[in-house]
Every structure is written in structure tokens, then in C-alpha cells.
Structure 1
């Protein structure tokens, strides 16, 4: 075991840390996370669109078209906001003007999101005044559905490419330089003139001259991976849980490593569920089980590794250190913050606590999966911040279903049972260490 831990620490950990710190990966993670406030707000309106109390839902029926607007312009155009966030984050790492980079990237993404002219030749709409069909001119209409989570991978690509073009032209001095004394905002606008033109022409040619749909192509290529990691595959869910816990054991923030890879899938999955739920599909019939909210509320009880159970065991410990650590970690653990335990026990590189830290969440994942496919618990249809206590958060994201809270309690008890024997071994080691130190 010690040899394995040494190998992981010396060989695997540095590689994982390097990948997680790569500037493009960081930009994707930061950019997508920056959209969180909007998706949280949009989630509340999804609940209003499908209010769980029939009497209230009936009264809200006349207002559904209005209540749908906040959702459509938050979650419904998630990729548009993510484009700006990703480009801005990457520009910051290159010390470029973030605002300019974000605007150029948004322009590039929108150009790729509009159907080419030849597709509009066969399309028509009805004129509301004359009630007659009319042809829609290319570029005069933007379907906001093309700006949603399904285009998130296209948004990532266009954002990264746009910033790289901006950086390349600045490094090579392919810019218009203004005299000294010109305000920075004006100078930055002229510096960005050639990069903006290059990005516009590039993505216009790709989408409208060549007819290549970046968003659709990437979505089709990555759809199987999304279905595996963030769809309905139990194996995919277990792989995700294992990897996140595994990186934590190496002392690396698990979601920070996995985030750039899986977060776009998570965002797309919960957006699909919210879209279906806003269209009054039953919460038990959502497209995806393994959303981020599924893991957050049914598996990460107290944080990654389901460590709230371990904290509670620490509170009963005969070890002075573990008992004190339990007191320190209990309140943060209730709000799903467990760094004090992960690094305080520590769980990092701890052969005794490594097994339950991985095993407990994986068993809980299986239990939650079975409860979901048997319709005991609905699928997640909205999202909320991770600092809400787990039973409340679980009910919130399942349209206030009481069995979601019950499942959290059951999974907590399961994690308590799994952690207990390993806790007793670790406690014995800790007591012996305390006695040896006098």
C-alpha cells in the first residue's frame, strides 16, 4: 500500500496537477462556472413553471408564458454567456484585454449559430399582419435554442480559437497602434480591429461559405461521451465518482481536474432536464439521471467522499485530536464544505481512510441510481447552490419531493456504516500516536 501511495504521489499527482492547471482547461472551468448565478436564477423559474402544489399551479397557468422568459434568457442561452466567460478567463491568463476578447468571442459564436443562407431558402414564417407565408432572410433571425447548452462545446471551441487569434496578432504586432495619450479603452478597440475582422471572416467562411456546423458536429461527436458520463449510465456515474475521489486522495481538488472535461456535460444534462420539465414532462421521465445535482445531493453528503458521516464519527472519538477535528468540521460539513476534514484528518494520502472515501460514494451512487430508475425518487429538474444542507437541497432540485430527502438520510446512514470500521482503525492509530507523544 505504501509503495502504491508513493507511486501515486510521485508520478500521478504531478501530471494531474499539470493538466488541471493548464491555462485552456482553467479558462473553460472558470468560464462555465461564471454562468452559475444565471442558471441558479433560471432554476427557480423552472419550479414556478411546474409548481408542486396543484392549487397554486392552476393559478399560475395564465402567467406561464411570462414566467418562461427568465428561464429562456438564463439557462436557455447558457452557451452564449459561457463563451464570454471562457474567452475573458483565457485572455486574463495571456494579459490581454478581457472585455475585448469576450466581445470578439461572442461575435464569433453567434456567427456560427445562425443557419446559412441556403437553409433559409426553404424556410418560411407566417406574417402576423397578413397571415401569409413569407421567406425569412438569412441572418435576420437567431434561434435562441442554438445558444443553449447543446451548443456549449461549440462555444468552448470558438472562444478559445478567438482568443488565440487575438493573442497571435498582438504578439506579431498585426494591430493598429495609437499614439501615446490615447485612452486605454480607445487604444484597445483599435488593437482588436484586425483580430475581430479575422475571427469574423474565419467563422463566417466556415459556417456560411463551407456550410460546416461547428456546434452540431462537436455535439454529435461528444454525445456518446455525454451519455456515458452525464446521462443514464451507472458505469459512467461510478467512473465520475471514482475519479473525483481519487484525485482528492492525491491532494488535488477533484472537481478542478474533472471540471473542464465533465462540467460541459453536466451543464448540458441539467439544461436538458430543465427544458423538459419546463415543457411539463414528469420529473420521473427526465432525459438524464447523472447530473451534477444528482451527485451533489445524493452522493456528496458533507462534500466529496460523503465525509459528513466521518465527521459525526470523529465527534464520538476517544482521540482528543479527532474529537476536536469533528467539532471544527461539523458546521462546514453540514453545508457540504469538507476541506478541513480532507486536509485535517488527513484523508489525503491516508491508506486507512482512502478505501471508505472512495467506496462510500460509489455505494451511495448505486443506491440513488436504483431509487431513481424505480421512480421512488424523481430526477433532478433544477439546481441550487452546493452550500444548502443536503436533505433540503435534494428536495429543492427534485421539485420538493419528500422521498429525495429520505434518500439523503438513507445514504448518510449507509456512509456511516461503511466509514465506521475504518474510523475505528484510524482512531486506534491516532490514540497510539497521542500516547507516544506523551
Structure 2
């Protein structure tokens, strides 16, 4: 085991650190994360529109269209916001004008995702004849295309700026004005390029990119138990090496997670049926039913520590309990530690995998509706599970079941670790 851990530390850690710090992957992760407040607020409006109270639907019926607007302009335009965020983050790495980069990325995304529609006949109260833009293409369905066009836009912009191919103004001109003129030539190239590809060659970048990533998305973030377990395993495995698991997988899986929950929210907003939504293994599935107390289902270990005979473990458990309730588990991961500790790393990996299987069975047998909302990760798991599954009490019960299962899995490893800790404390007292 020591040789294996040494191999991981010597060979695997450097590679994963390089991946985690790669500029494009960091930009994707940070850019998509920047949309988090919008998706959470959008979720609240989905919940507001669908309270499971008798007579509530009739009560809000006159206001439903108005109440739906915030959802349409948050979740419904998520690809637009993500394209700005990714470009802004990447431009910050290159130390070029972030605002211009973000605006050009939004422009590129609009050129590739929105095709104006000609309406020849007016419909009273619905639409007037003229040229209209369909904003439905700005949602999760174009998220991957928005990411790619943003990266390309920043690289094109950087190419021109680095080679000094820009309109130069005297030094006395304010920086904001100078930056705007510096972006003129790159902006022209970006507009012509993406316009030509999409509207002259009729090459749909968003469709091609979405088609290309669909097999991977269906595996990791679809309805496959194997894919869901693979995602969970990789995250906790990296954590045992001391690496933030989602930071490694984030650039690949976070756009898929966000696209999946946005699709669920959009479908639920349209149908009101939480039992039949597109995706099971959203991030929220893992967050509420697998990560109970944080990655590795560590709230169970925290509770065991609280009642430990070892003074250090008891104190660490008490200090970690409140953060653990709100799904923050760095204190226990690095304090126990679980990192590079085979004795605790084994249940840290096994417990969430078992929880994944149990939760999958509950959903597969339709004991719980599917997830239709995105809540802040700091909401305690039982409460968040109930709310995000259209107020299913059984979801809260499942969280308690999985917590109990994790407790049982951790227990024998905890006792062995506690024995080691007691011996250490006794030796320190006698020395």
C-alpha cells in the first residue's frame, strides 16, 4: 500500500496538477461557475411556479407568464452568460482586455447560435410580422458551443493584440477608449469569420459540438449507473490525493452538469411533471444523495469522530460538525486526514459508491421524482433533497438512509483509525 501511495504521489499528482492548472480548462471551470447565482435564482422561480399546494396553480394562473420571465432570462439564456464568463476568465490569464474579450465572445456566440426568423403574418397578442430572434437557442442546448466559440474568440483577439495589429491612439487617450479602438480590427475579423461559417457556409457549430460531446455526456451525466459511479469514483479518488476532485473534472463535467440540470428545469417548467425529466445523474443527484456532508459522505465520519475516545478525533469531529451540515468538509478531509491515508480513503471511496447505487434504485423504481431545481450547495442535504425533487418527503428519507449506510461503512475503519490515534496519544503522554 505504501508503494502504491508513493507511486500516486510521484507519478499521478504532478500530472493532475498540470491538468488542473491548464489555462483553457481553468477558464471553462471559472467561467461556467460564474453563472451559478443566475441558475440558483432561476431555480427559485421554477419552485415558486410549482408549489405542490392544492389551489396554488389556480391562484397564480393570472400571473404565471410574468413570474416565468426571470426563469427565461436566467436559465433560458445560460449559454449567453457562460460565453462571457469563459472569455473573461481566459483573457484574464493572458492579461488582455477582459471586457472586450467577453463582449466579442458574446457576439460570436450570438452569430453562431441565433438565426433570425422572418414572420410574415401577425398573430394578435402573440407576435407581429417582422424579423425576430429566437432566444431559446441561448439556453443549455448551446452551452458547449458557447464555450468553444468563447475560447476561439479570445485566441483570435490575443493573436492580433500580441502582434500589435490594432488601431493605435496617442497615450493621452483614456485607456477605456484606447482599448475599444484596439478591439476594432479583431472584432471585424471575429464577426466576419463566425458570420461566414454559420450563415454563409450554414455550418452549425453548436450542433456539431453538442453532437460530439453527447456520448461522453450520456455516460457521465446521463442515466447510466456505470457513468454515475465513474464520476463519483474519480472525484473522491482525486480527493484522496489531496486534489480538489471537481477542480480536475470540472472543466469537462461542469458544463455537462449545468446543461443537464438546465434541461431538467426547462422540461419541468414546461410540463410540471418531475417524474419524467431527461437526466438522472445531475450534480444535484450527487450533491444531495451521495455527498452527505461533502464529497465522500463525510458527515457520517464526523459524527463518529464526535463520540470518539481519542481526544483529537473528538475535538476535530465537534469542529467539523457545523461545516459538515452545510456540506463543507475540508476540515475533516485535511484534518483527520483522509488525504493520503489508506485507512480512511477506502471508506471515503466506497461509501459514496454504495450511496450512488441505493439512490439510483430509488429513482429507477419511481419512489422519488427526478431533480428539477438547483439550490446552493450549502443547503443541508435532507432539506435540499426534498425541495429539489418537487417536495418529495421520500427524498429526505433517502438522505437519512444513505447517511446511515455511510455510517456503517465508515465504522470499522474508524475504529481501527481510533485505535491508532489512542496509541499515539498514550505514547505522547508517557514520553
TM-score interval w.r.t. the shorter chain?
Answer: over 0.9
List per-residue Cα deviations over 1:291-311 (Å, max 9, x = no partner).
111110001000000000000
In structure 1, the partner of 2:64 is: 64
Asked whether the 8 Å contact 2:50–2:272 carries over to 1, the reply is no
Query: How many angstroms apart in 2 are the aligned matches of 1:72 and 1:133?
Result: 20
Across the aligned residues of Structure 1 and Structure 2, the Cα RMSD in angstroms comes to 1.6
Task: Give the Cα separation in 2 of the matches to 1:408 and 1:273.
Answer: 21
Structure 2 CA distance for aligned equivalents of residues 174 and 340 of structure 1: 50
Instruction: Tell whether the 8 Å contact from 1:50 to 1:277 is kept in structure 2 after alignment.
Output: no
The answer for the alignment partner of 2:144 in structure 1 is 153
Query: Residues of 1 paired with 2:256 and 2:54: CA distance?
Result: 33
Deviation beyond 4 Å, 4+ runs, structure 1: 129-134
2:39 is the alignment partner of 1:48? no
Distance 1:130 1:286, change over 3 A: closer
Provide the rounded CA distance (Å) in 2 between the counterparts of 1:207 and 1:358: 46
The alpha-carbon deviation at position 398 of structure 1 amounts to 1.0
Residues 37-436 of structure 1 aligned to structure 2 (within 5 Å) = 37-115=37-115, 124-128=119-123, 140-436=131-427
Give the whole-Å Cα distance in 2 for the aligned partners of 1:368 and 1:43.
22
CA distance in 2: counterparts of 1:254 and 1:49, whole angstroms: 35
Q: Please give the alpha-carbon distance, in whole angstroms, between the structure 1 residues aligned to 2:383 and 2:406.
A: 19
Per the TM alignment, residue 145 of structure 1 is displaced from its structure 2 partner at its CA by 1.1
> Following TM superposition, by how much is the alpha carbon of 1:149 offset from its aligned partner in structure 2, in angstroms?
0.7
The CA deviation string for residues 315-343 of structure 1, in whole angstroms up to 9 with x for no partner, is 11111111111011111001000000100
How many corresponding residue pairs?
429
Contact preservation (8 Å) 1:50, 1:280: no
C-alpha distance in 2, partners of 1:337/1:130?
50
For structure 1, the residue ranges without an aligned partner over 5 or more in a row are: none
Q: 1:115: Cα distance to partner? A: 2.7
| Distance in 2, Cα, partners of 1:396 & 1:88 | 33
CA distance in 2, matches of 1:47, 1:7: 48
In structure 2, the CA distance between the partners of 1:129 and 1:303, relative to structure 1 (3 Å rule), is closer
Gaps of 5+ in 2: none
Residues 125 and 248 from structure 1, CA distance in 2 versus in 1: closer, same or farther, beyond 3 angstroms? Answer: farther
State the TM-score, normalized to the length of structure 2: 0.97
1:353-387 Cα distance to aligned partner (Å, 9 max, x none): 11100000000001111101111111110011011
Equivalent-residue separation in structure 1 for 2:121 and 2:219 (angstroms):
41
1:225, 1:52 → 2: CA distance?
35
Taking a change above 3 Å as real, the CA distance of residues 410 and 237 of structure 1, as seen in their structure-2 partners, is same
Superposed displacement of residue 129, structure 1: 5.9
Alpha-carbon separation, structure 2, partners of 1:397 and 1:349: 34
Q: Is the 8 A contact 2:328 2:378 kept in 1?
A: yes
1:391–1:131 distance in 2 versus 1, CA, 3 Å: closer
Q: Secondary structure at the match of 1:54?
A: coil
Contact 1:175 1:193 in 2 (8 A): yes
**Residues 125/233 of structure 1: CA separation in 2 closer, same or farther (3 Å cut):** farther
TM-score between the two structures when normalised by the length of structure 1 = 0.95
Contact 1:360 1:419 in 2 (8 A): yes
1:62 shift after superposition: 2.1
My pick for the range that moved more, 237-246 or 398-407, is: 398-407
More moved, 46-55 vs 98-107? 46-55
User: How many angstroms apart in 1 are the aligned matches of 2:28 and 2:107?
Assistant: 18
Give the whole-Å Cα distance in 2 for the aligned partners of 1:177 and 1:349.
Answer: 54
TM superposition shift of 1:66: 1.3
